[in-house]
Amino acid sequence: MKKNQSKKIKKPWPTKKIMDQIYDLNLWGGNETEFYSGFGSHNPELVDPYIKIINEFLNSFDNPISVLDLGCGDFNIGKALYKNTKKYTAIDVVEDLINYNKEKFKADNLEFKCLDIAKDELPKADCVFIRQVLQHLSNAEVENILNKLSNYKYLILTEHLPKGDFEPNKDIISGQGIRIKKQSGLDILKSPFNFKAKTKKELLSIDLADGKGVVVTWFFEVF
């Protein structure tokens, strides 16, 4: 190879551009007239138990709490939760998706915002929901998000993991895929994240019918 013919290294697309494309091309399903956040947000075997246990959590408080939903997607799940909160702020990086949700879902205690959760300042709330979002992000973006969560009382986190033992937190390029392709998954308490939480409790674990892992939901008391 001649001196001036070195290969150009392609830089990864910004996460916002990737997520825009996923919805523009319906890579998670759906059609041209709707936004669709995929199997994980619509399969009743995954969605119904999650909604049940989260609503039990929300209704356990004498006074309703405020919630921040990071990566709200098409709001198929959030629409079953927000009525049991003092305020529900739903966030996604895809502007057209957020505008779509604003038109479709309206309530006094419901607000949609278009933000990049790895870069932008996040609104205040008592509790944060992050459901199958971090699994699509690079370690650098995951760490940026986790660094902001010490400002909240509670975190409810859902991730798609391999079954059995696995090496946690292998890095990926942010996008449609997840770490399970590398026989890995996120454990935010382990390196390089070392997230600090007062308590951790597993709320839900669902084996996927196709044998490709398990979807686990944890509750963290942050302080």
Question: Over the stretch 39-48, which tens digit does the pLDDT of each residue have?
Answer: 889 999 999 9
Task: Give pTM, 2 decimals.
Answer: 0.90
Rounded mean pLDDT, 217-223 = 94
Per-residue confidence band for 110, with pLDDT thresholds at 50, 70 and 90: very high
Q: Is-contact 192 141, C-beta < 8 A?
A: no
Tell me, what's the pLDDT at 13? 65
- Domain span at residue 85 reads 35-221
Q: Which residue has the higher pLDDT, 209 or 109?
A: 109
Secondary structure (3-state) at 218: strand
Q: Is 10 inside a domain boundary? A: no
Tell me, what's the pLDDT at 40? 86
User: What's the CATH code of the domain at 88?
Assistant: 3.40.50.150
110-114 vs 87-92, strand pairing mode: parallel
Q: Is 189 inside a domain boundary? A: yes
Looking at residue 185, the DSSP 8-state letter turns out to be -
Question: Over the stretch 150-187, which tens digit does the pLDDT of each residue have?
Answer: 999 999 999 999 998 999 999 999 988 899 999 999 99
Candidates 88, 94, 41, 83; CA nearest to 68 is 88
Q: Is 159 inside a domain boundary? A: yes
Q: Is-contact 216 202, C-beta < 8 A?
A: yes
Q: Is 5 inside a domain boundary? A: no
Q: Is 16 inside a domain boundary? A: no
Candidates 135, 162, 137; CA nearest to 12 is 137
Question: Over the stretch 51-95, which tens digit does the pLDDT of each residue have?
Answer: 999 999 999 999 999 999 999 999 999 999 999 999 999 999 999
Q: Is 28 inside a domain boundary? A: no
The domain total for the chain is: 1
**Percent of residues, the chain, with pLDDT higher than 70:** 93
